[in-house]
Chains A and B, each alone.
Chain A
């Protein structure tokens, strides 16, 4: 014990607040730490075990073998193509909304806020039905598109729409927080230096919000890769066109479990890498 420590229960002086609080009558700090770790284990175990099981059921050689089969390749390609397009759409359409949410106050903002969160908690199958009723052939807008010669249902456009609907909120939320965090004083200083509105956005706000935009877009991408329920309902399932990795996993599971396992392992690896990148970007943003 350090000599200058005041006896419990008075508060330790501010400069010492970070030091562990120890007292002979209290259980030691190390003991409680250990207890917390022990208590945290079951949840962690529950997350990790199913993921690990997937890896035990396949070997790298098997993985490469089924990667060479055409159903797996087609699903991977469809997933890559559609999710990258989805990501672009989310960036283009989501950024203005995020800017609005992060930088202005208006009537009904809370309602808009709830609306943005809605797709993340809706069952994706509900989203699929809703999209079908809107953009399906007999839907509100779908019939109109059809007349113009643009078919949506059963095409990759439908896959992209389902992914954007489900995944965009992750980007919008994160980007709005990023825009919100840009200091008003920095902004005013830039304006005093003669920056116009566009320069202000492009050269001051955007760089400052970049970590949030980056991590948000990676989260969105990961979520789009995993989108299943809305896709199978709204876009259907045609290998090479609308069959994404998650739909191939679902149907593959019923016939060829190896296909399902291979695709699952790929999805888990990609998602894990994306999430680690997100964490790294956020950590770097906090440091600077």
Chain B
């Protein structure tokens, strides 16, 4: 009984406290919420910090996840101001659901695939063929995730190429130990050594993993280019500010950050 009384008392005290001590005048800061593909997490944090510096009173928060998940969340009415997808498919879905005006998006970056392997696991050879050799534990992104779709597209290209063919694809798929639900998990499993190799975006290779990860380039004739569209959502209350963030991402400063992480410019 006394515990309940204590709780009630505490509640009363909180309720009576002057509002200013609880929240620092909410009308002074505007929070922009950006839903962005997992592969953008590192450069976008930096972009957000820069944008905040240039716009006092604005705070940028991010929700990073697989683009398919973000599109689903937006469809279910999650409050967001911007959507940056790793695939046109999920931007189109947001347009269809009426959360982005038709043609209201634009491409702000491109990306390519690369195979990675853990340096402690010696590969049979240092080319792509190693991925299809038996005994290799490979992780890919699930076919629901954009990078998983690009990986499937790359494999289909390889089938058509006489140097690889269906044998390569089938051997590689037989090595798959797990289909992960976003690209950062694929990266983590290879970095941890749980998997020997994986396929991720070029932009996922960062300096801090250089000592752990080796990379095998995917030849240009087989590689798939991912285009990243971004859009201000139609129900955003801060349309102009969100557009300013898009402009910043497209500006030379924003592009410099993206390219420092291995992203390609929007136009070849």
Contact = CB atoms under 8 A, between A and B. Distances in A.
Which of A232, A236, A255 has the most chain B CB atoms closer than 10 A to its own CB? A236
Interface string A239-268: 100100000001101110000000000000
A118 interface: no
B180 to A, nearest CB: 7
Contacts of B144: 251, 254-255
Interface in B132-169: 137, 139, 142, 144
Interface stretch (A54-62, A99-107, A132-140): A132-140
Interface residues of B, number: 19
Contact of B66 (A154, A237, A254): A254
A280 interface: no
A136 B142 CA distance: 21
A132 B191 CA distance: 13
Nearest to B71: A254
A153 interface: yes
Nearest to B73: A254
A255 B180 contact: no
A141 interface: no
Interface stretch (B79-87, B103-111, B171-179): B171-179
A40 B66 CA distance: 40
Contact of B192 (A132, A236, A242): A132
A238 B68 contact: no
B31 interface: no
A138 B188 CA distance: 13
B177 A238 contact: yes
B168 to A, nearest CB: 20
B181 interface: yes
Nearest to A252: B144
Contacts of B137: 154
B225 interface: no
Contacts of A238: 176-179
What's the dominant secondary structure at chain A's contact region?
loop
Interface in A183-200: none
B176 A254 contact: no
Nearest to B145: A254
B68 A254 contact: yes
B193 A237 contact: no
Given A237-B142, A237-B179, A238-B179, A136 B69 contact: no
B66 to A, nearest CB: 7
A136 B181 contact: no
A254 B69 contact: yes
B92 to A, nearest CB: 15
Contact of B72 (A235, A242, A254): A254
B206 to A, nearest CB: 20
A243 B231 CA distance: 34
A169 to B, nearest CB: 26
A255 B67 CA distance: 12
Contact of B180 (A138, A237, A254): A237
A162 to B, nearest CB: 13
B182 to A, nearest CB: 11
B178 A242 contact: yes
A153 B193 CA distance: 11
Contact of A232 (B139, B176, B181, B195): B181
Contact of B181 (A153, A242, A251): A251
Contacts of A137: 192-194
B178 A138 contact: no
Interface string B114-142: 00000000000000000000000101001
A132 B89 CA distance: 34
Given A251-B142, A251-B144, A254-B66, A132 B72 contact: no
Contact of A138 (B139, B179, B193): B193
Nearest to A242: B178
A197 to B, nearest CB: 45
Contacts of B189: 236
Contact of B139 (A132, A236, A239): A236
22 contacts: A132-B192, A132-B194, A136-B192, A137-B194, A138-B192, A138-B193, A153-B177, A153-B194, A154-B194, A154-B195, A235-B178, A236-B139, A236-B178, A236-B179, A238-B176, A238-B177, A238-B178, A239-B179, A250-B181, A254-B66, A254-B69, A254-B144
Q: Which 8 residue pairs spanning A and B have beta carbons closest together?
A: A236-B178, A154-B177, A254-B68, A138-B193, A255-B144, A254-B144, A153-B194, A154-B178
Given A236-B178, A253-B72, 14 more contacts: A132-B194, A136-B192, A136-B194, A137-B193, A138-B192, A138-B193, A138-B194, A154-B137, A154-B177, A238-B177, A250-B181, A251-B142, A254-B144, A255-B68
